[in-house]
Structure 1
Amino acid sequence: MHREKFHWFRLAFQYKASVFPAIFNRVLYCGLFGVFISLLHYFRFPVFQPILENVIPSIVLGLLLVFRTNTAYDRFWEGRKCWGSLVNNVRNLARQIWLTVEECEPKDRANKIINMRLLVAFAVATKLHLRGESVNTELEELMSSYKYLTLKTMNNPPLEIAFWIGDYLQYQYKCDRLHIFQLTAMQELLTKMVNDLGGCERILKTPMPLAYAIHLKQLLLIYCLLLPFQLVDNLGWWTGAIVALVSFTLLGIEEIGIQIENPFGYDSNDLPLDAICNTMLLNIEDLTSLTPSVSNYN
C-alpha cells in the first residue's frame, strides 16, 4: 500500500512526459494577465465585470475539450491496434515460413532467414514512413545492399518490401515447396500487414479539421482572458494564481489531445515504435534459432 501511494505521488510530480513544459509559457502569460487585472482593480479601475461569466459557459468549453481529447485518444488507440495487429501478423507469417517452406537445398534455410528478416524490415520501414524519414541504416542491416539501394529510390518502402516477400512466397509455390493452401494463408497474412500500414497512413493523413482546432484555441484564449475580470473582486491579488491554475487545467487537456493525435513520433506520449520493432527482431532471431523437424516428436 505504501509503495502504491509513493508511486502515485511520484507520478503526479513527474516532469518528463507531462504537458507542463509545452504549456508553461501560455499558463505564465495568463497568470501575469490576472496579476495585471488585480493591479488595475487595486487602483480602482472598473475591471470587475461579473456579466462576462456568461459569455462562454463552462459546460460548452468542457464539452469541446472532452470531444477533442476523446477524438485524439481514438486516433492513438487505433494506431496502437494497427501496430499490435502488425506484430501478430509478422510473428504468424514468420512462423509459417520457418515451419512450412520445405528446404530442398542447403541455401533454402538461408533464404528463409533473409525473407523472415524482411518482415522486420517491413515494420521498420513502416515506422520510418510514418515519421516522414528516409530509408536509413536500420534497414540496411536487415537486407542485402542491392535491396537497400533499391529501397532508397521508392516512394513507399514498406510496399516494396511487401512485394519482395510476396514474390518469395510465390516462387516457393512454383518450386513445389508450398502447396496452394499454405500459399493462400501466408498471402492473407501479408495482406493484413499491408492493411495495418494503410490504417496507420489513414491516421497520419487525416488530421483534425483545422477550423475545429482554431475555434477551440480561440475559445480557450477568450475564456482565460475573461476569467480575471470575473474573479478579481473576490480574489484580489490571488487572481493571477487562480487564473494560472484554471488555464493550466484547460490548456493541459488541449495539449494532451495535440500530443496523442499523431502517435507515431518521438514524443514521450507517442507509441514506442522503436521498442516494438526491436521486439519483432528478437522474436525472429529466437525463431530462427530453433530447428523444425518431425524427428523432435519421435
Structure 2
Amino acid sequence: MIVRQTPNTLKIFFALRGSIVPKIYPQIFLVIIISTVIALIQYWSPSTFPAYGTIPFTLLGVALSLFLGFRNNASYQRWWEARTLWGQLVYDARSFTRQVLSFINTETETERDIQRSMIHLTIAFTHAVRHRLRDTEPWQDVERFVAPAHHDSMRQAKNLPNYLMGLLGQKLGDARRLGLTSEQMIQNMDERLHSMTVVLAACERIHSTPLPFAYMLLVHRTTYLYCIMLPFGLVSSLGWITPLICVVTAYTFFGLDALSEELEDPFGFAPNQLPLTALSRTIEINLLEAMGETELPPDIAPKNSYLE
C-alpha cells in the first residue's frame, strides 16, 4: 500500500511510485505510435482519411466510461470490504486478548500456560490468515507461536487458519472444564472467536471469487478497440494534436482498467493493495505488549512510500 504525504502539484504530475503508469505504458506507447503514424499520413496525404463524425466515438466513449466506472466501483468495494474485515480482525484480537488476560485465573502454572497459549494462537491465526490470502509459506511466522506438539499436524492441515481456530476452541474448552472463568465469559470469548472465523470466511470469499471473467474481457476488449480506433476519427479535425488527445484518453481508460484489476484482489503485494504484513505485525505487537512482553518486534515501516 502506498503511504506518502500529500505532494504538490508538480510531484503529483510526475509521480510513478503507486501510479498505474508502469502497468499500462506498453498500451500508451502503442497508442502513441498508431496516432502519430496516422497523423503523419494525414499530413502528407490529407485525403487519406475521410472526415468521420465524432458522434460514434462520443457514444462509445460514454458507454465505455460507464462500464469502467461500474467495474472500478465493484473493485473498490471489494478493497474496502477487505480493509473493513481486517479492521474487525484487529478489534477481535485485541478484545479477545483483553478478556483472556482479565477474566481467566492465573494462580497456577497450568492456568498461565493456557492463557499464554490462547494469546499466542491468536497471533498465529492472524499471520496464517495473511499467508493464506497471499498464497505464501506461513511456517516462519506461525510455528514460533504454536506448541511443537502441533507442528506436524499443523503442516498437514488443508486450511491452516481454520486449524488454528480449532486449537483456540480447544483451549477455550479446557478453560471451561477447569473452571478458570465464568460461563458468561466463556460465551463472550467464544463470540470473539466466532467473529474471527467470520472474518476468515469473508476474506476467503473475496480472494476466491473474482469479478466475472466475461465482464472483464468485454471491458478490456472495448478499451483496446476504442483507443485504437480513436485516432482515425480525430485526425481529420485535430491534425497534429491527435496523438496528445489519444494518449490522454488511453491513459484514462487503460488506467481505470488496470487499477480495477489491481484492486479486484486486495490481498496481494501490488502497491495499491492492502498492507497485510503491517496489519498482522500491529496485532502481534499489541497482543505481546498486553501480555507484558518487553522484547517486541519492530513496526513495519514504509519503504520508498510503500507499506507491505
Unaligned segments of structure 2, at least 5 residues = 294-308
CA, structure 1 residues 136+49, in 2 after alignment: closer, same or farther (shift >3 Å)?
Answer: farther
Unaligned segments of structure 1, at least 5 residues = 291-298
Q: How does 1:26-175 map to 2 (within 5 A)?
A: 26-44=27-45, 46-51=48-53, 53-54=55-56, 56-175=59-178
| 2:303 paired residue number | none
8 Å contact kept, 2:18–2:272? yes
**How does the TM-score come out when normalised to structure 2?**
0.88
CA, structure 1 residues 150+103, in 2 after alignment: closer, same or farther (shift >3 Å)?
Answer: same
8 Å contact kept, 2:68–2:256? yes
Residues 1:256 and 2:254 are matched in the alignment? no
8 Å contact kept, 1:89–1:192? yes
8 Å contact kept, 1:38–1:236? yes
- Partners in 2 of 1:277 and 1:11 — Cα distance? 30
CA, structure 1 residues 272+5, in 2 after alignment: closer, same or farther (shift >3 Å)?
Answer: closer
**What is the root-mean-square deviation of aligned Cα atoms in Å?**
1.8
8 Å contact kept, 2:127–2:138? no
- Partners in 2 of 1:5 and 1:107 — Cα distance? 52
Amino acid at match of 2:25: F
CA, structure 1 residues 12+51, in 2 after alignment: closer, same or farther (shift >3 Å)?
Answer: closer
CA, structure 1 residues 257+5, in 2 after alignment: closer, same or farther (shift >3 Å)?
Answer: closer
- Partners in 2 of 1:211 and 1:238 — Cα distance? 35
8 Å contact kept, 1:41–1:48? no
| 1:20 paired residue number | 21
- Partners in 1 of 2:254 and 2:210 — Cα distance? 20
Residues 1:176 and 2:179 are matched in the alignment? yes
Q: Does 80-89 or 237-246 show the bigger shift?
A: 237-246
Q: Does 133-142 or 154-163 show the bigger shift?
A: 133-142
Amino acid at match of 2:158: N
Amino acid at match of 2:44: F
Amino acid at match of 1:126: V
Q: Identity across aligned pairs (percent)? A: 26
1:50 aligns to what SS in structure 2?
coil
Amino acid at match of 1:24: Y
Amino acid at match of 2:23: A
Residues 1:222 and 2:225 are matched in the alignment? yes
- Partners in 1 of 2:9 and 2:284 — Cα distance? 34
Amino acid at match of 1:216: V
The aligned length equals 287
Which of 192, 197, 208 is the aligned partner of 1:194? 197
Superimposed CA distance per residue, residues 203-247 of structure 1 (whole angstroms, 9 cap, x where no aligned partner):
111111111011111111111111101111222233223211210
Residues 1:232 and 2:219 are matched in the alignment? no
- Partners in 1 of 2:251 and 2:108 — Cα distance? 66
- Partners in 2 of 1:166 and 1:255 — Cα distance? 42
1:15 aligns to what SS in structure 2?
coil
CA, structure 1 residues 101+75, in 2 after alignment: closer, same or farther (shift >3 Å)?
Answer: same
1:255 aligns to what SS in structure 2?
helix
